[in-house]
Copies of this chain bind each other. A is one copy, B any other.
Amino acid sequence: MPTEPTSRFLRACYRLKTDTTPVWFMRQAGRYMPEYQAIRSQHKSILEMIARPQVAAEITLQPVDILGVDAAILFADILLPLPPMGLKLEFVAGRGPVIHNPVRSPDDVAALRPVDVAADLGHVFEAIRLVRAELDGRDIPLIGFAGAPFTLAAYMIEGGPSRNFLETKKLMYGQPEAWHALMQKLTPVLIDYLLAQVDAGAQALQLFDSWVGVLNPQDYRRFVQPYVRQILHTLMAQAEVPIIHFGVGATTLLREMKAAGGHVMGLDWRVPLDEGWALLGHEVAVQGNLDPTALFAPLPELERQVRDVLTRAAGRPGHIFNLGHGILQHTPVENVRAVVDMVHEFIWK
């Protein structure tokens, strides 16, 4: 922490007192929002929207104005570093991301190209600069992000979403040299990419290890933790921004993930916030952890669940309210806005 920040969100990242609990939502810019749909309908693909800094910046800012959240997160995708490495990525309607040339062998790993982030991903940094210019004077920090190496490797190997992650684990267990070579290729790309986001103006970073919950702690320690540690420790040494480290279904990995680094640990909705925080220790901040499906509930039930999360945080500095995973398609926008108000108006008796 360079100088003591003033915004609620950054203060909570460093476990400093705030006037009220800060709140933002994973995937707060997206399909559930009519203003996003209006822009989406003018473009052929999500990748095209992300590639245009003006468009990405506009979408990034939508939830700040419409929802009243305490932080913005760049509109981008965790898979952006993959095409420069040589992977043919396409977002297929109704199916999600597909990689047409998945990585399955040591030769596939060897063929991956190094990434020059400034040249290959310059549009991301330009979008960050545009958002920061728009947010000038508003004390709403901008969060940059990347996928963690396990989750990116799993996408690269499976070629898309997977149920059992069998190909990933076959490579891990059966060709560990190829697995480690893949992680060693991803690690510097992610360090460069995240440092360049900070250079462009990102005021916090989130590392999304969305799929890491399919591993047990033994495999996490063997196959993943050294690389996450290298990324997070490099960032913590070289960038003066807080880092949020998040996994889904990863309760049994929380201690190992915390040991790998981060100022803030993201909790999914499966673990009660007080239990998750106690498991981690109170020397880290936590982010979470409303069930995203609760946003479809009638307001009294939704409020009950929001208050449950806040009550479990017990007014301790270092809680950032969020969902336990991203906002789902068709989520009612008015309920998301209502949660922002509930969080901001919650009073400790």
Q: Which residues of A contact B (CB under 8 A)?
A: 164-166, 169-170, 173-174, 213-219, 249, 251-252, 269-272, 275, 291-294, 296-298, 301-302, 308, 328
CB distance from A247 to the nearest CB of B (A): 11
Task: Report whether over half of chain A's contact residues are helix, strand or loop; otherwise say mixed.
Answer: helix
For residue A215, which residues in chain B have a CB less than 8 angstroms away from its CB?
270
10 further A-B contacts with Cβ under 8 Å, apart from A174-B296, A249-B249, are A169-B294, A169-B297, A170-B293, A174-B297, A174-B301, A217-B272, A218-B272, A251-B252, A252-B270, A252-B272
Is the Cβ of A296 less than 8 Å from the Cβ of B216? no
For residue A302, which residues in chain B have a CB less than 8 angstroms away from its CB?
173
Among the interface residues A164, A252, A269, A275, which one has the most CB atoms of the partner chain B within 10 A? A252
Is the Cβ of B251 less than 8 Å from the Cβ of A296? no
CB distance from A248 to the nearest CB of B (A): 10
How far is it, in angstroms, between the C-alpha of A164 and the C-alpha of B328 when the chains are bound?
A: 9
For residue A292, which residues in chain B have a CB less than 8 angstroms away from its CB?
164
How far is it, in angstroms, between the C-alpha of A293 and the C-alpha of B172 when the chains are bound?
A: 11
For residue A296, which residues in chain B have a CB less than 8 angstroms away from its CB?
166, 169-170, 173-174
B173, B293, B298, B308: which contacts A301 (Cβ < 8 A)? Answer: B173
B173, B251, B301: which contacts A294 (Cβ < 8 A)? Answer: B173
How far is it, in angstroms, between the C-alpha of A251 and the C-alpha of B217 when the chains are bound?
A: 13
CB distance from A186 to the nearest CB of B (A): 21
Q: Which chain B residue shows the least CB distance to A249?
A: B249
